[in-house]
Amino acid sequence: MDVVQEIENFFGVYLLVNNNDNPKFNGRCYVGFTVDPNRRINQHNRGKKYGGAGQTSRVPGPWSMVMIVHNFPDNISALRFEWAWQEPRASRRLKNIFSIQRKIPSESHFTYHFRILTEMINLGPWNRLPLKIRWLEQDFCTQFPAGRLPQHMIICHGPIKAKKTKIGRTQSNIELLDAVRSRKECHLCMEEIKNLEDDRVFCVNPRCKLVTHLRCLAKTCLTPGHYVPVQGVCPLCECKFLWGNVIRKKKGCLDAVDYDEVDEDFDI
């Protein structure tokens, strides 16, 4: 719990809870997006003048960041998640779920936001992402109802720190990376990848030389009845991966995936 985990290319959606002694404000919640959780909570507690949100600045603090959902493939998907969590009655995906449209009078603001989160992670497209739900304040740690946490999502605990991408570059992995990036032929269909920026993807294993069309790799991962893969196995090195991590690497998060982590069994 005391070990700070550093995460590269961080995109997270967090939940704040107000700790003011005044019962009028205590327990209120706020949902937001950040690329740096530690900096963001300081901004909220220092006020709008220092970059805090207007909503949290109008309510006396202090605020605590009790949980954060991260491992989004990019900032756009995280921002869409944030907006839906903030505005469930306006969200196209959530507005028809009657059970979360109104807060029950007897429940806390935190419990209400947790109910919304539980519904969101079980709806597309979010239920296809390899999200990590991290508890930062253990007093608020709550178990998801049985069967309501997708099995490919991970519950984490403890503090985090966002950091910029740094690629370890020994001479051998420089040569391997250059060789992989220069390849323009798909390993699966053996045809030329004409649009390298949009169509070419690589294996999440930094030691693997797989280069393929996005659609070709997706075909090997899709399960009947679905349009977006959840997980797959590399046809070259046979490492197991989550589809969201393939997209993260494609978008430049080269060190965002721990190979020791993705080489686990995912039983979905």
| Domain ranges, ordered by start, for the chain | 5-163, 171-261
**Confidence grade of residue 268 (pLDDT, cut at 50, 70, 90):** very low
| Distance separating alpha carbons of residues 235 and 186, to the nearest angstrom | 12
Q: Which residue has the tokens 């998907």?
A: 77
88 vs 95, more confident: 88
Query: Helices 109-120 and 75-86, interaxial angle, to 10°?
Result: 130
Q: What is the pLDDT of residue 15?
A: 97
- pLDDT tens profile 37-70: 999 999 999 887 777 788 888 888 899 999 999 9
| Distance separating alpha carbons of residues 168 and 222, to the nearest angstrom | 32
Would you state the structure tokens that stand for residue 199, as one six-digit string? 């169509």
List, in sequence order, the alpha helices (H) in 47-125: 54-57, 75-86, 109-120
**Confidence grade of residue 176 (pLDDT, cut at 50, 70, 90):** low
Q: Strand 132-135 relative to strand 154-157: parallel, antiparallel, unpaired?
A: parallel
| Distance separating alpha carbons of residues 178 and 109, to the nearest angstrom | 51
- pLDDT tens profile 120-160: 999 988 998 999 999 999 999 999 999 999 999 999 999 99
> What is the CATH code of the structural domain delimited by 171-261?
3.30.40.10
- pLDDT tens profile 177-218: 566 667 788 888 888 888 888 888 888 887 778 888 999 999
Please state, in angstroms and as integers, the Cα–Cα distance from residue 112 to each residue in 58, 81, 219, 267, following that order: 21, 16, 39, 30
What is the sign of the dihedral through the CA atoms of 166, 170, 175 and 176? negative
Q: Which of 13, 132, 171 is closest to 83 using CA atoms?
A: 13
Residue 167 has pLDDT above 70, yes or no: no
Q: Strand 12-18 relative to strand 29-34: parallel, antiparallel, unpaired?
A: antiparallel
pTM above 0.85, yes or no: no
Mean pLDDT of all residues belonging to the chain: 83
Beta bridge partners of 42: none
Q: What is the pLDDT of residue 255?
A: 44
